[in-house]
Amino acid sequence: MIRFVINRFVYMVLTMAAVSVVAFVLIQLPPGDFADSYANKRQQAGAPITAEELDNMRHQLGIDRPWFVQYGKWVSNMVLEGDMGYSWEWRRPVTDLIGERLPLTLLLAFSTLILMYVVAIPIGIYSAVRQYSATDHIFSTVGYVGLATPNFLLALILMYLGQRWFGQSVGGLFSPEYQDAPWSWPRVVNLMEHLWVPVVVLGTAGTAYLIRTIRASTLDELDKMYVMAARAGGISPMRLLLKYPVRMALNPIVATLGWRLTYVISGAPIVGVVMSLPDTGPLFLHALLNQDMYLAGGMVLIYCAFTIIGTFISDLLLVLLDPRIRMEGQA
Amino acid sequence: MQNDVILEVHNLHITLDFDGEDIPVVQGIDFELSAGKVLALVGESGCGKSVTSQALLRLLPRELRITSGQINFQAADGQAPVDFVSLAKDGKKIREIRGNQIAMIFQEPMSSFSVLHTIGNQIGEVIRLHLKASKAEARALTVELLDKVGIPDPARAVDQYPYEFSGGMRQRGMIAKALACNPSVLIADEPTTALDVTIQAQVLELLRRLKADDGMSMIFITHDLGVVAQIADDVAIMYMGRIVEKGPVGEIFGNPQHPYTVSLLNAIPRLGDLSARRELASIRGSVPSLFERPPGCAFHPRCDSFMEKLCDAQPPPLTRLSPIHEVRCFLHQAAEKEAAL
Ligand SMILES: Nc1ncnc2c1ncn2[C@@H]1O[C@H](COP(=O)(O)OP(=O)(O)O)[C@@H](O)[C@H]1O
Ligand SMILES: [Mg+2]
């Protein structure tokens, strides 16, 4: 077991290293660089800069050197000093920028995850046990609609409804008066009042998908021989359901929790942009558009880190939950 | 109910709900199980043996349902017999009987245990449920049971998972679970079919010892008449949801009267022909599907003694050849009439 964890951990670090190279290369792939996009802006503002100024700027920023030199510097600073570089656009350290907004992204992602599981598990099981009942049909229909609605559309609908019925300014995560206020209890309440909209937007499709999966796998398990064998022992239907088929059906679903974390984290930026949330979503988009290299690279790296950590968590859960895999892990 | 009869099935009908259509699967079967006896239910695959055995404890899956009949059980405590058909499907009454007074083992030892729970947990569950035992007591009793059914190193086995057991060991585990509460009846649905021949013999020997030493009554389901000779007292031969012939083992083997019984007996491989043991291949044709049930006697398309306009017109009535030997075949109805003339 301990060997397994160490094993996976080493893989995790290696993957992270590989991902950092890919992220760095990808960020540099689009034609042009930050200097170009800066020059462009100046041009549009009616104050073009000279070719000499441009070269100077390139030299100052270090982007005239070969990519591997830039990469080496970036990574060594990051590992040795926790410094992820400097955002030229914001003229602030990347660590600060991400640090300010990441907690909100995480809050959004984890709230979404919790909502997904809390809603999907009971409904999925209920639909399976009462297969083809009216309730089952209703949940199925709602689920299909939920799956089929694009997130941005759902966001717009909810924002409209929120404004219309609750008189709320649902864009963003705070009402204007709390926007820059220090943390206080009313501010937390205010956050909660706003948070449900992006959480619902981000979680609906995933919840609908989870319900389908749980329903199908529970149905599968209900027909298995071991369920009848357990019934033949005299156990009550409810205990039977929870101890055997549900436990079995939830196994893969709990075990993929980490992958689902990945899913919500990677879905978050779009929702963040559509709803203009003060989280990492808009930050990431602008960094990409402006070729703000270190900020964009840092963001990619953070998103990937969550994916990799998510996978690590999933692997661990799988091993903890299934004795068969646990055994292989030991062997 | 008769004196020593503990389980009696009377005119049991079971239908399959196939997209809203009712397809008969079991069509009025009768049998009795006496205390300390083994009754074998024999027939080719698909004739309704498993469905019948599952119906006995009201375990039928959703799509199958008892439409009429009785399943009367005489508990050991001497109270009035209970008709299981009249009880709620997963209600308290039938649950108190399951695993406690009547236990069951299944054909597929590989899938009869949950892979996520230890053997000890799954056997202990029954013990704690019915005997109101503590965890520690249940565990101690489980170890004893595992030892009794011949599982080596039971103190270790109790904490093992099913995948660590071989097929034969799992079936022994199932038997241990079935024995946990000292049931008065054991229903065994093809308990040896899925096992290798040598393991088959060992498990059969274990069941035979249960009968001999503990006087366990059993309903033993198999498609292999060769096995029947080794363990059963009485045999009921089933074909497409009906019992076509029934009687003591000696009588049925020595004096078979239904053409189907005769062909089944002819299909038993000779000694030394072990590899062919599992198949009953030598009967002409194959069992029709539930949806193409032949009219009259369902066996008539495969029968060498088929009589036109008789066998295919209506189901043959029950003929009692002797107080202990019954058959459903027009050959014998004709013979009986002649004898009466
Ligand atoms: N759950 C089920 N759904 C549909 N058909 C079934 C089901 N269980 C059994 N049957 C059908 O009922 C008939 C009897 O099956 P079964 O009792 O399992 O036969 P066997 O004598 O081999 O044990 C077969 O034709 C089988 O296909
Ligand atoms: Mg069967």
Considering only alpha carbons, which residue of chain A is nearest residue B174?
Answer: A229
Q: Bridge partners of B255? A: none
B62 CB neighbour count, 10 Å cutoff: 10
A322 token code pair: 């299934």
Which residues lie with the beta carbon below 6 Å from any ligand 1 atom? B 16, 25, 43, 45-51, 61, 63-64, 290
Question: Are A309 and A111 contacting, i.e. CB atoms less than 8 angstroms apart?
Answer: no
Ligand 1 atom at shortest distance from the alpha carbon of B61: 1
Please calculate the CA angle A14-A18-A19 and round it to the nearest 5 degrees. Answer: 115
Is any Cβ of chain B less than 8 angstroms from the Cβ of A247?
yes
Q: Do A234 and B99 touch (CB under 8 A)?
A: yes
**DSSP state letters, B243-263:** EEEEEEHHHHHHS--SHHHHH
The alpha carbon of A242 and the centre of ligand 2 are apart by a number of angstroms equal to: 27
* Residue found under tokens 């097929």: B167
- Domain segments of chain B as ranges: 114-182, 261-269+280-340
Would you call A244 and B130 a contact, using CB atoms and an 8 Å cutoff?
Answer: no
Going along chain A from its start, the domains and CATH numbers come out as 105-289 (1.10.3720.10)
Q: Would you call A237 and B115 a contact, using CB atoms and an 8 Å cutoff?
A: no
Q: Could you read off the pLDDT tens digit of each residue along chain B, which spans 341 residues?
A: 777 899 999 999 999 999 889 999 999 999 999 999 999 999 999 999 999 999 999 999 999 999 999 999 998 877 899 999 999 999 999 999 999 999 999 988 889 999 999 999 999 999 999 999 999 999 999 999 999 999 999 999 999 999 999 999 999 999 999 999 999 999 999 999 988 889 999 999 999 999 999 999 999 999 989 899 999 999 999 999 999 999 999 999 999 999 999 999 988 766 555 555 545 446 788 889 999 999 999 999 999 999 999 999 999 999 999 999 999 999 987 666 666 66
Atom of ligand 1 nearest to the CA of B241: 14
DSSP string of A28-39?
Answer: H-SSS-HHHHHH
Q: Which residues contact B10 (CB under 8 A, 6 or more apart)?
A: B30, B69, B70, B71, B72
Give the residue among B238, B234, B240 at the shortest CA–CA distance from B264: B238
Q: Tell me the pTM.
A: 0.84
* CA dist., res. B224 & res. B164, Å (int): 29
